[in-house]
Amino acid sequence: MEMKAKQLLQEYFGYESFRPGQEDTIQHVLHTKNTLAVMPTGSGKSLCFQIPALAMERTAIIISPLISLMKDQVDALQALGIAATYINSSLSPAEQNERIQRMTEGAYTFVYVAPERFDSPFFVRTIDQMNLSMIAFDEAHCISQWGHDFRPSYRSVVPTLYQLTNLPVLVALTATATEEVIADIQQLLDINREHVVKTGFERENLTFHVIKGRDKLAYIREFLIQRKQESGIIYTATRKQTDMLYDKLQGQGYAVEKYHAGLSETERQHAQNAFIHNEETIMIATNAFGMGIDKSNVRYVIHYAMPMNIESYYQEAGRAGRDGEPSDCIMLFAPQDTQLQKFLIEQSDLDEAAEQNEYRKLQAIMNYCFTHSCLTNYILDYFADEAKLDGCGRCSNCLQPSEKTDMTEEAQKILSCVKRMGERFGAGMTAKVLRGSKDKKLISFKLNSLSTYGILSNYTEKELTEWIQFLVAEQILATEEGKFPTLKLNKQSIDVLKGKRQVWMFTSTIPTTEEADYNEALFSVLRQLRKQTADEKKVPPYVLFTDATLKDICRYFPTTKDAMLGIKGIGTRKYEQYGELFLTMIQEWLADHPEVKPRVQINSSSPAAPRKYATRSQAEGPSHLETYKMFQSGKSLQEIASIRELNDRTVEGHIFKAFEDGLPIAWNIFFNDEQEKEVLEQHEQITEKRLKPLKEALPESYSYTMIKAVLVKNGIM
């Protein structure tokens, strides 16, 4: 069976190895143990039930509370030539009956249904007669009343299930479950502790950024100029913000859609479809959008305003990068965001205890916006997950901001102006005074007689307002709550005024995508072919091939069937469906571009290099190969990191990637035989496949780099 799972992984999904958590879940299910998998979004939960179901060759019933997701999942399975269908209320009764009939004939390996289907005694009787492989609960947290998305209909499936005389193995999957929810699911579905598979929460391809004290609209414009041709989501806190942003960006010619609860069902459906089917659409939406969106190549999620808590933030931001490719999650913070969230809490009908709880959560997300330490760690800590000792090395706090300006003097002028204005006015009026405006209201309050009137007249009012906002965001200036927040001094303000504290303003740069290590021209051609083929089949483009797969093609230029099968994400099944179509396009493109020359010849005799094709690349070559060349010329990891201005972990990753490309590595630089043996032995013994427990089980002198190197060399990581 074990072999079979691996074979299926390669044959159907085109992947060489399992990701953390997948193999354990699959093995438990294959041994008919009821299992719960708690793994983050994008970690590959679908394979955890799809592979055992394929191995069992019967019918698997997948219960999913999200009707909109079912079609996507079924499309993706059909694109692999797997017999799958869904039965839900979006179909006519005749269509439903027809599918149920085909199901009883054993025509499907997968049948997706909504929980409500189990309310039908006819359906329950029907499946009771069938040969089932398993029943899977997708989004299993919805089954628990402690979960943040409780669906009573999901819970009521359970007693019905136990009436089945042919109850097969049960598998539950979720990305978010607290200990309480886990215990609840275990109890309901009769899952033993040793069959709960839990991997960490961290999504290593996501980079978090907090941007404070900047004009939000200006930032977004700048961002979109840099990140053309990518699809993303911009979340706003209110419908009004959505409408405003949509109008502005549409007016500037961007491909935007909008989604909020104030729009009609048809308008929402249209917007959602456009987003799913197009490659470059920007979705502007309130938090009403996103449940059931499986689009895998969302490259960024921007929050135009701070959401209500970390749970919502991580869920919404987590819609970026489901395909595992690097993606950005950006929070644009302004002090007013806090006021808005407080207002929303006040307006809600919560009892006092629940309200307090909401305030506590709001405080936590405000702290996220203000923290100076690693943002990824902050989130992991919040979910009581193990944070990395030394930060993620990617987020806006870990990366040294590139430009900083000393604005202590300006800050002192602003603060003393606030003081002289009697701490009775807001940011707008303060900016006017500093600028020396002739505003009537200002004059009527005699604010033009203050000594600070016009002391920063060489700046615009807008710049001054931004600076004031920045000081508030940095908690150097306080605001009195209320409808028109007035500015107040606090302890930090006094320190700045007395010259005890300096004020630095960091210019937050727009996160750019890493220099592409694949041929972008070919990528764009293949993307078009993918879109065209997907449109013909009426499926979203990403169910044919993920962006990760297309990029891999554009790194390695496969020109034969064998070489195509060496690409991540292309197995024989996928090849049978679409392989030749894409192969022909690659061959034609290469014939038209003779200047694209092979650069590095992969050593195909190396046992760890199954790939037989050559890597080709344009002019300067992929980033990881540049690192590799330096490494081969004898430079240490630290030296390379400092020359290339990369962090140590990236350099390490480049070298391991080069090895995966089939290039030789002098492993004795990382470890000796004895150390390798020790790491492998400990790895065998530890069931939890994360690095931290492994590191703790080994002598202290064994560094993370050394451990990773052993695992990479042995193909375990």
Residue 15 touches ligand ADP, criterion: CB under 6 A: yes
**Numbers of helices and strands, H then E, in the chain:** 32, 19
How many angstroms separate the CA atoms of 376 and 203, rounded? 9
Give the binding range for ligand ADP (CB under 6 A) out of 42-50, 504-512, 584-592, 698-706: 42-50
The nearer residue to ligand ADP, 48 or 332, going by C-beta atoms, is 48
The nearer residue to ligand ADP, 69 or 103, going by C-beta atoms, is 69
Give the residue, chosen from 25, 34, 35, 41, that forms a contact with ligand ADP under the rule CB under 6 A: 41
Residue 47 touches ligand ADP, criterion: CB under 6 A: yes
As to burial, measured by CB atoms within 10 angstroms (0-12 exposed, 13-18 middle, 19+ buried), residue 112 is buried
Task: Mark residues 595-634: x for contact with ligand ADP by CB under 6 A, - for none.
Answer: ----------------------------------------
How many angstroms separate the CA atoms of 85 and 676, rounded? 47
Residue 437 touches ligand ADP, criterion: CB under 6 A: no
- 282-285 and 231-235 strand pairing: parallel
DSSP letter, residue 136 = E
Phi, psi of 135 (to 5 degrees): -120, 125
Biggest CA-to-CA distance, the chain: 89
Residue 628 is encoded by which pair of tokens?
Answer: 């590799």
The nearer residue to ligand ADP, 175 or 433, going by C-beta atoms, is 175
Polymer length in residues for the chain: 717
Residue 44 touches ligand ADP, criterion: CB under 6 A: yes
Residue 35 touches ligand ADP, criterion: CB under 6 A: no
The nearer residue to ligand ADP, 456 or 570, going by C-beta atoms, is 570
The nearer residue to ligand ADP, 39 or 135, going by C-beta atoms, is 39
Give the binding range for ligand ADP (CB under 6 A) out of 35-43, 210-218, 373-381, 495-503: 35-43
As to burial, measured by CB atoms within 10 angstroms (0-12 exposed, 13-18 middle, 19+ buried), residue 400 is exposed
How many angstroms separate the CA atoms of 250 and 257, rounded? 9
Tell me how many degrees the CA angle 173-177-180 measures, rounded to the nearest 5. Answer: 125
The nearer residue to ligand ADP, 39 or 472, going by C-beta atoms, is 39
Give the binding range for ligand ADP (CB under 6 A) out of 37-45, 250-258, 457-465, 559-567: 37-45
Least distance to ligand ADP from the beta carbon of 44, Å? Answer: 3
The nearer residue to ligand ADP, 15 or 459, going by C-beta atoms, is 15
Residue 151 touches ligand ADP, criterion: CB under 6 A: no
Residue 198 touches ligand ADP, criterion: CB under 6 A: no
Residue 637 touches ligand ADP, criterion: CB under 6 A: no
The nearer residue to ligand ADP, 42 or 662, going by C-beta atoms, is 42
How many angstroms separate the CA atoms of 210 and 395, rounded? 9
Least distance to ligand ADP from the beta carbon of 76, Å? Answer: 8
Least distance to ligand ADP from the beta carbon of 20, Å? Answer: 9
Task: Mark residues 468-487: x for contact with ligand ADP by CB under 6 A, - for none.
Answer: --------------------
Give the residue, chosen from 26, 29, 39, 640, that forms a contact with ligand ADP under the rule CB under 6 A: 39
Least distance to ligand ADP from the beta carbon of 6, Å? Answer: 10
Least distance to ligand ADP from the beta carbon of 713, Å? Answer: 19
DSSP letters, 10-75, are IIII--SSPPTTHHHHHHHHHTT--EEEE--TTS-HHHHHHHHHHHHTSEEEEE-S-HHHHHHHHH
Residue 42 touches ligand ADP, criterion: CB under 6 A: yes
How many angstroms separate the CA atoms of 102 and 100, rounded? 5
Least distance to ligand ADP from the beta carbon of 300, Å? Answer: 18
Conformation bin of residue 233: beta by default, left when phi > 0, alpha when psi is -120 to 50: beta
Task: Mark residues 281-310: x for contact with ligand ADP by CB under 6 A, - for none.
Answer: ---------------x--------------
358-366 own/partner pairs: CB under 8 Å, 24+ apart: 358/308, 358/309, 361/308, 361/309, 361/310, 361/311, 362/308, 362/309, 362/338, 364/309, 364/310, 365/306, 365/307, 365/308, 365/309, 365/310, 365/313, 366/306, 366/338
Residue 546 touches ligand ADP, criterion: CB under 6 A: yes
Phi, psi of 113 (to 5 degrees): -135, 160
Least distance to ligand ADP from the beta carbon of 142, Å? Answer: 14
The nearer residue to ligand ADP, 22 or 241, going by C-beta atoms, is 22
Strands (E), 610-717: 615-616
Task: Please compute, for residue 442, the number of CA atoms within 13 A of its CA located in the half-sphere on the CB side.
Answer: 20
The nearer residue to ligand ADP, 291 or 399, going by C-beta atoms, is 291
Least distance to ligand ADP from the beta carbon of 72, Å? Answer: 9
Least distance to ligand ADP from the beta carbon of 127, Å? Answer: 24
Residue 45 touches ligand ADP, criterion: CB under 6 A: yes
How many angstroms separate the CA atoms of 674 and 459, rounded? 66
Give the residue, chosen from 25, 34, 35, 46, that forms a contact with ligand ADP under the rule CB under 6 A: 46
Residue 241 touches ligand ADP, criterion: CB under 6 A: no
CA-to-CA separations, 221 to 208, 215, 218, 254, 510, in angstroms, rounded: 19, 10, 5, 10, 10
The nearer residue to ligand ADP, 202 or 323, going by C-beta atoms, is 323
Least distance to ligand ADP from the beta carbon of 552, Å? Answer: 11
Task: Mark residues 315-334: x for contact with ligand ADP by CB under 6 A, - for none.
Answer: -------xxx----------
Q: Within its chain, how far is the Cα of 311 from the centroid?
A: 14
Phi, psi of 230 (to 5 degrees): -125, 155
Least distance to ligand ADP from the beta carbon of 435, Å? Answer: 50
Are 381 and 368 within 8 A, CB to CB?
no
Residues 6+ apart with CB under 8 A from 562: 612, 613
- Which single residue is written with the structure tokens 């005799």? 605
- 486-488 and 478-480 strand pairing: antiparallel
Question: Which residue's Cβ lies closest to ligand ADP?
Answer: 44
Least distance to ligand ADP from the beta carbon of 541, Å? Answer: 13
- 59-63 and 84-87 strand pairing: unpaired
Least distance to ligand ADP from the beta carbon of 318, Å? Answer: 9
Residues in contact with ligand ADP, counted by CB under 6 A, come to a total of 18
Residue 24 touches ligand ADP, criterion: CB under 6 A: no
Give the binding range for ligand ADP (CB under 6 A) out of 38-46, 159-167, 418-426, 452-460: 38-46
Least distance to ligand ADP from the beta carbon of 60, Å? Answer: 15
Is the C-alpha dihedral spanning 401, 405, 408, 410 positive or negative? negative
Catalog residues that contact ligand ADP under the rule CB under 6 A.
13, 15, 18-19, 22, 39, 41-47, 296, 322-324, 546
